[in-house]
Amino acid sequence: MAVMEDRWLSVIEIGKYLGVSSDTVYRWIDKHNMPAHRMGRLWRFKRDEVDSWVKAGGAAGLQET
């Protein structure tokens, strides 16, 4: 069965994809308008939206602390 490329990603998955910790992902959502969608208590991400945010400089100069 083929894996769907356009599926919703979790905080852990998007963190691994971007090479940052989950804490950094939460901080970017809160302080840097990272595109995320709240589904109940969980945050979910579309890879293409996050890619566009990164390309537009959304994560530029931000360091993991």
Q: Output the DSSP codes for 25-52.
A: HHHHHHHH----EEETTEEEB-HHHHHH
Residue among 31, 61, 62, 16 at smallest CA distance from 45: 16
> pLDDT tens digits, residue range 13-63?
999 999 999 999 999 999 999 999 999 999 999 999 999 999 999 877 655
Residue 38 and residue 6 in contact, taking contact as beta carbons nearer than 8 Å: no
Three-state DSSP class for residue 9? strand
On average, the pLDDT of the chain sits at 89
Question: Per the confidence metrics, is the pTM higher than 0.85?
Answer: no
